[in-house]
Structure 1
Amino acid sequence: MGESQEILFARNLKKVRDLAKEQENCVSEQQVRDSFAGLNLSESQLQMVFDYLKKHKVGIGEPADLDEYLSEAEMDYLEEYKKELAQTQEVNGGEKEAVILSAMAGERAAQSRLIHLYLPQVVEISRLYAGQGVFLEDLIGEGNVALSLGVTMLGCLENAGEAEGMLIKMVMDAMESCIAENVRQQDKDKKVLARVNKVADRARELARDLNRKVTVEELSTETGMSIKEITDAMRMSGFAIEDLQ
């Protein structure tokens, strides 16, 4: 697959995932095949696409079972949270549109009401992002913050029909950003741990040779590591590297 095809493949894959989000996280097999028709993929390559989508909780032909991605603790939390939300009064389409129009006009009571109307949808959206390293409660929290901000921004829309799409997108973007930040933090933590382990290992080796704890200067001279690298590692470990004094 040439570079241009790889770019097109990635673009089409994103379009399929975006389409799934618009269809309760579900696409038909034919929609997938149509999306990749221009790339002349083999059946085995298409099967890889289907496997990828299923791995990312996109149902093929029918919605995926999202609960299987939840831990027992998350299931318990979800059950209790849903009980709280059950007290939220439902509204019909006309009443909901009236609330949206009032929220668009800047009425705070309507904005607050709209937040409560969409809280159950935030829960359902959070299940799409479960199992990616962020606890469900945190995802819901991020979604609720985005929802609270979103209802204050509806005045920029031309009609009430655009409101739901805007709010749902903001909630999804917030959860995706939360997951991305968690991944970045994990990568950072891994790099920090690797640096600390490197210094600790070298200090242990030298201390074993000298039969005593070693100084930063000695470790730097013997290993070629800079004093800053060593002291940074000491600080990041909370000065817990046993063989350094």
Structure 2
Amino acid sequence: MGESQEILFARTLKEVRALAKAQENCISQQQVEEAFAELKLSKAQLALVYDYLKKHKIGVGEPVDLDEYLSEAEIDYLEEYKKELAVLEKVGDGEKEAVILAAMAGEKMAQNRLIHLYLPQVVEISRLYAGQGVFLEDLIGEGNVALSMGVTMLGCLEHAKEAEGMLVKMVMDAMESCIAENAQEQDKDKKVLAQVNKVAKKARELAKELHRKVTVEELAAETGMSEKAIRDAMRMSGFAIEDLEGTL
């Protein structure tokens, strides 16, 4: 596959995910095949596409079972949280539109009521993002914060029917940002751990040769690592690198 083909494939895959997202995370097999028609993918390549979509909670032909992506702890939390939400009032489409219009006009009571009306939808949206490194409760929390902000921003809309799309998008964006930030933090933690382990290993090897703890200066001279990198590793380990002087 040439470079242009690779770029086209990546762009098409992104478009397919966006289409599925607009269709409640579900897409038909025909839509997938039509999207990739220009690339003339083999059955094996299409099968890989379908596997990719499933891993990203996108159903092909029928919705995926989102509960498969939940841990036992998340399922228990979800059941309890849904019990709390069950006492919230239910309204018809006409009354809901009236609440939205009042919220768009800046009425605080209507905005608060709208938050309660959309809390169950935040729960359903959170299930789409489960299994990506963030506990369901945290996703719901981020979604609820976005919802609370969103209801105060509806005044920029022209029609009430645009409100749900705006609120859902804000909730989804908040959850996606939460997942991205968590992934970055985990990557940072892995790099920190790797640096600490590297310094600890080199210190252990040198201490074994010298039959005593080693200094930062000795370790730097022996390994070529900077003294700053070694001291940073000492600090990040909580000064627990036992073969280095100045640590526990």
Distance of 1:14 and 1:101 partners within structure 2: 34
Give matches, 1:165-176, under 5 Å: 165-176=165-176
Percentage of matched positions with identical amino acids: 80
Equivalent runs, 1:30-179 vs 2, <5 Å: 30-179=30-179
Higher mean C-alpha deviation, range 96-105 or range 31-40 = 31-40
Cα distance in 2 for partners of 1:3, 1:145 equals 42
- Return the alpha-carbon distance in structure 2 between the equivalents of residues 111 and 199 of structure 1: 55
Map Cα deviations across residues 179-217 of structure 1 (whole Å, 9 max, x no partner): 111110111001111111111001000111111111111
- The alpha-carbon deviation at position 47 of structure 1 amounts to 1.3
Unpaired stretches in structure 1, ≥5 consecutive residues:
none
TM-score under structure 1 normalisation?
A: 0.98
Shift of 1:222: 1.7
Which runs of 4 or more aligned residues in structure 1 lie more than 6 Å from their structure 2 counterparts after TM superposition?
A: none
The 5 A counterparts of 1:165-244 are 165-244=165-244
- Letter of the aligned partner of 1:27 in structure 2? I
* Counterpart residue identity of residue 226, structure 2: S
Distance 2:8 2:35 in 1: 11
Tell me how far apart the structure 2 counterparts of residues 100 and 11 of structure 1 sit (CA, whole Å): 36
CA deviation map 1:71-97 (0-9, x unaligned): 000000000000000011111111111
CA distance in 2, matches of 1:172, 1:39: 30
Please give the alpha-carbon distance, in whole angstroms, between the structure 2 residues aligned to 1:138 and 1:176: 12
- 1:3 Cα deviation from its structure 2 partner: 2.0
Kindly report the root-mean-square deviation, in angstroms, between the aligned alpha carbons of the 2 structures.
0.9
Which residue in 2 is equivalent to 1:20? 20
Measure, in 1, the Cα distance between the counterparts of 2:8 and 2:140: 33
SS in 1 for 2:244: coil
Residue identity opposite 1:74 in structure 2: E
TM-score (norm 2): 0.96
